[in-house]
């Protein structure tokens, strides 16, 4: 069964460092998303991406964050200068050509720890 894969599964970084979280969405999917879950809290939307541009973003997704689909298969989330409060589980998701009318498939997540 096709799946969304994320790497790494766990990343520890120093405050102020840049991190790149990587995702390989399901191959025929066209809509891509990043969500995050701070420990003990609910999952929050960060950004959606379609047709090589951001289609929607939350207030959390400020200038510190950027997304890219560099090569047609990977989908990345970059955090430029990490803060302690960026520590969370980050989930990538993708959905098919129907976008909001289709099911979203999630990756296993990347646990980011900022120290």
Partner 1 sequence: KNEVEQSPQNLTAQEGEFITINCSYSVGISALHWLQQHPGGGIVSLFMLSSGKKKHGRLIATINIQEKHSSLHITASHPRDSAVYICAVRQGGSEKLVFGKGTKLTVNP
Shorter beta-carbon distance to partner 1: residue 2 or 16: 2
Q: Is the backbone of residue 64 left (phi > 0), alpha (psi -120 to 50) or beta?
A: alpha
What distance in Å separates the CA atoms of residue 26 and residue 4, rounded to the nearest whole number?
6
Tokens of residue 75, six digits: 């989908």
- Best CA proximity match to 112, nearest among 94, 92, 78, 86: 86
Q: Does 2 bind partner 1 (CB under 8 A)?
A: no
Q: Which stretch binds partner 1 (CB under 8 A): 14-22, 69-77, 78-86, 107-115?
A: 107-115
**Contact 110/9 with Cβ under 8 angstroms?**
yes
Q: Does 58 bind partner 1 (CB under 8 A)?
A: yes
DSSP 8-state symbol, 63: T
Shorter beta-carbon distance to partner 1: residue 8 or 16: 8
Q: Does 35 bind partner 1 (CB under 8 A)?
A: yes
Q: Which stretch binds partner 1 (CB under 8 A): 13-21, 33-41, 65-73, 77-85?
A: 33-41
**Contact residues: partner 1, CB under 8 A:** 31, 33, 35, 37, 41-45, 48, 50, 55-56, 58, 89, 91, 99-109, 111
């Amino acid at each position: 069964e096709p799946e969304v894969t994320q790497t790494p599964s766990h990343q520890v970084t120093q405050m102020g460092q840049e991190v790149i979280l990587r995702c390989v969405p399901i191959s025929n999917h066209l809509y891509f998303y990043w969500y995050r879950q701070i420990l003990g809290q609910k999952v929050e939307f960060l950004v959606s991406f379609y047709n090589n541009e951001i289609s929607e973003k939350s207030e959390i997704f400020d200038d510190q964050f950027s997304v890219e689909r560099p090569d047609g298969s990977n989908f990345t989330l970059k955090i430029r200068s990490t803060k302690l409060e960026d520590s969370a589980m980050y989930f990538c998701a993708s959905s098919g050509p129907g976008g909001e009318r289709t099911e979203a498939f999630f990756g296993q997540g990347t646990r980011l720890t900022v120290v």
